[in-house]
Amino acid sequence: MKNTPIRTLAAAAALAACGIAQAGEVEVLHWWTSGGEAKAAAALKASMQAKGHTWKDFAVAGGGGDSAMTVLKSRVVSGNAPAAAQIKGPALQEWAAEGVLANIDDVAKAEKWDSLLPKAVADVMKYKGSYIAAPVNVHRVNWLWANPEAFKKAGTKVPTTWDEFFVAAEALKKAGIIPVAHGGQNWQDFTTFESVALGVGGTDFYRKALVQLDPATLNSATMEKVLSTFKRVKTYTDKNAPGRDWNLATAMVIKGEAGMQLMGDWAKGEFVAAGKVPGKDFICAPAPGTAQAFTFNIDSFAMFKLKNAENTKAQKALAAAIMSPEFQEVFNLNKGSIPVRLGMNMDKFDDCAKQSAKDFVATSKSGGLLPSIAHGMAVPPAVEGAIKDVVSQYWNSDKMSAKDAMARIANAAKAQ
């Protein structure tokens, strides 16, 4: 004790004052590397550091998280799991069934999660009745982002139907503006496909085809129309789209090089990080034909079993921090999503977030609230991957007809 440096003693005293006996380290795997995403992730890091814990960042770049999931698998297989990893939807059940996730019921009980989360969300965070993950937010996927200056220049209006979409796209093209900003990974194609399916086919079609994987609906005239409409969108993208990251596509809309982008509201995080104001510098509108529906994408962190007691404490502190009102506010302001915790004050949120929050509640009553297939919410990962591959092959091929694609998707839906 006599030789302990004053700084260490002071730090220990500060930790004791915060009610933390020992600080630990949390290693957190995520794929939040774009401008808005990184700001949101920094909020989580800051909240852990304020509690005296050490944050070990395990960021694996790549929108949609496919690369992150590959890296995670190899780490877990080699017995070196991080404390927490961004895992979502049905994939949580698969990881829990492997026996590698920790039970965090003690945190959830102490913090009253059952009464702070919509039941449908709480159920996804539980395996055999016990919490194994903490939810962060609710992203809405069926959005269209538009640059109002570009639309003014083209003399056209932000579309609310797919017919209007193609009228606007034509006008933007004539004005020398790239109509649709799009990128190059298959999950971006799938994100666009999902919004087209919802807008062209409607809520019941979406549920039957892309959640229940009903063979008759997957092999229907509506599905064929969805596929041909989807492919028509491609004719309004630019030739440099292949290989482009989603946030660079968003940057094209921010700069007015492109008129619009179909993307979930993590895109809003990019606009906001660039100092842009919704309603003035950019428009958020439901994807054409989807105003009465809401495809949700809930980010969550699964907690892995750890051996070290201090690190386990830090992990529990992370779970508690994620659901705290302070974190839910600051994180979601930066991320573009809305809080998943019920009863949050939305005063600081912009009109896009307020509309999202309103529509989330309204669609949960009307039946228009649907899980996003492109973002791991609707079907098991193997099925999602198989359908996603066909959708991208169709998007990228000059030869595959809508009918061929339809047959292949119906077949991919059987992958388990």
Q: Which residues, at least 6 apart from 345, have a Cβ–Cβ distance to it below 8 Å?
A: 329
Sheet of 25-30, strand order: 54-59, 25-30, 84-86, 300-303, 133-135
Min. distance of Cβ 299 from ligand BGC in angstroms? 5
Q: Which is nearer to ligand BGC, 168 or 252 (CB)?
A: 252
Q: What's the token pair of residue 147? A: 């640059």
Min. distance of Cβ 88 from ligand BGC in angstroms? 6
Q: What's the token pair of residue 116? A: 């702070």
Q: What's the token pair of residue 42? A: 């920094």
**Mask: binding to ligand BGC, 369-408, rule CB under 6 A, as x and -?**
------x---------------------------------
Choose the stretch contacting ligand BGC; rule: CB under 6 A; options: 59-67, 110-118, 213-221, 315-323: 59-67
Q: Which is nearer to ligand BGC, 295 or 311 (CB)?
A: 295
Backbone angles phi, psi at 280, to 5 degrees: -115, -60
Task: Give the Cα separation of 191 and 395 in Å (integer).
Answer: 12
Q: Which is nearer to ligand BGC, 69 or 410 (CB)?
A: 69
Q: How far, CA to CA in Å, does 71 sit from each of 92, 245, 264, 373?
A: 16, 19, 24, 22
Q: Which is nearer to ligand BGC, 53 or 139 (CB)?
A: 139
Q: Which is nearer to ligand BGC, 136 or 213 (CB)?
A: 136
- Is residue 301 within the footprint of ligand BGC (CB under 6 A)? no
- Is residue 65 within the footprint of ligand BGC (CB under 6 A)? yes
Min. distance of Cβ 144 from ligand BGC in angstroms? 17
Task: Give the Cα separation of 376 and 64 in Å (integer).
Answer: 9
Q: Which is nearer to ligand BGC, 299 or 384 (CB)?
A: 299
> What part of residues 215-274 is at the interface with ligand BGC (CB under 6 A)?
266
Q: Which is nearer to ligand BGC, 203 or 297 (CB)?
A: 297
The dihedral region occupied by 190, where left means phi > 0, alpha psi between -120 and 50, and beta the remainder, is alpha
Min. distance of Cβ 270 from ligand BGC in angstroms? 10
User: Nearest 5°: CA angle at 377, between 376 and 380?
Assistant: 65
- Is residue 139 within the footprint of ligand BGC (CB under 6 A)? yes
- Is residue 297 within the footprint of ligand BGC (CB under 6 A)? yes
- Is residue 64 within the footprint of ligand BGC (CB under 6 A)? yes
- Is residue 24 within the footprint of ligand BGC (CB under 6 A)? no
Q: What's the token pair of residue 243? A: 């290989």
> CA nearest 105: which of 322, 319, 326, 311?
319
3-class SS of residue 261? strand
Single-letter code of the amino acid located at 247: N
- Is residue 183 within the footprint of ligand BGC (CB under 6 A)? no
> What part of residues 116-135 is at the interface with ligand BGC (CB under 6 A)?
none
Q: What's 282's DSSP letter?
A: B
Min. distance of Cβ 266 from ligand BGC in angstroms? 3
Min. distance of Cβ 136 from ligand BGC in angstroms? 8
CB neighbourhood size of 152 (10 A): 11
Q: Are 234 and 395 in contact (CB under 8 A)?
A: yes
- Is residue 63 within the footprint of ligand BGC (CB under 6 A)? yes
List residues near ligand BGC by CB under 6 A: 31, 37, 63-65, 139, 266, 297, 299, 375
